[in-house]
A = this chain, B = another copy of it.
Amino acid sequence: MAPVTSAASTTKIEDALAHLPITATIQYRKGETVYGPDRSSMNIYLVVAGSVGISRIADNSSEVLFNVVRPDELFGESAFLGDPWLAERATALETVKLMSWTVADVDELMERRPRLAVALLQILARRNAELTRHIASFATDGVERRLARSLMYLSERLGKQTEDGSVRMISFTHSQLSSHIGTSREVITQYMNRFRKLGFVTYSRSCITLRKEMLRTVLGEPSVDTAVATN
């Protein structure tokens, strides 16, 4: 996270990474579990390369993807709760490289470097804000808007701008998308087909390409001038 300040700020945005020692990286293959119900963890992780999906395990054992973590971001902060947290799973969405620290080590580091604690607090407060946005979307949006919003969110987190102004990101299965927005895979397939026919998205096994300015129209947001957006 790059340090950011704003004129209106009274609190500086801290850079957690500046306070954490470098450790060896561990690699996980796509689909591998970093931690989960059958592999508990008391670690805080940093994504060095790739991306990691964090899902919550619901009472009916289905998994709901609620966060996607990208390079230079931390995850695993549920370890601060003091016990291994078995209702959450972290999965490599592609090949990932991670650094990790035990929560006990981070705890000790925070004693010596209080700014690390402030940095972690800010990360959690931001994550909180993202989670409540997701809740608000569940509470007020229909499936089509939820899907459009999810695609926008994922592309903001994982996408790369292409030359023609569209955004390309790693592929998500319809099953993963359905677990993010809480509907069946069949309904996702139906809406994704619709979005594809309208030219909002194209996708293959390896990547999804989005026309964000078109998707915005689903959300009723002012559609950016296409001539500008494609430059």
Q: DSSP majority for the A interface? A: helix
Report how far A131 CA is from B133 CA in the complex, Å. Answer: 10
Quote the shortest CB–CB distance from A23 to chain B (angstroms): 18
- Counting CB contacts under 8 A, is A179 at the interface? yes
Question: Which residues of B are found within 8 Å of A85, using beta-carbon distances?
Answer: 129
Question: Which residues of B are found within 8 Å of A117, using beta-carbon distances?
Answer: 110, 114, 117-118, 120-121
Report how far A47 CA is from B200 CA in the complex, Å. Answer: 47
Q: Which of A9-17, A25-33, A157-165 is near enough to bind chain B? A: A9-17
Report how far A111 CA is from B103 CA in the complex, Å. Answer: 20
Report how far A141 CA is from B133 CA in the complex, Å. Answer: 19
Q: Of A118, A125, A132, A137, which is in contact with the most chain B CB atoms at under 10 Å from its CB?
A: A132
In the complex formed, the residue of B with least CB distance to A57 is: B136
30 contacts between A and B (CB under 8 A): A6-B82, A8-B83, A9-B83, A11-B79, A11-B80, A12-B82, A13-B81, A56-B132, A56-B133, A56-B136, A62-B139, A62-B140, A64-B136, A66-B136, A80-B125, A85-B129, A87-B129, A87-B133, A88-B129, A110-B117, A110-B118, A114-B114, A114-B117, A117-B117, A117-B120, A121-B124, A124-B128, A138-B139, A139-B180, A140-B182
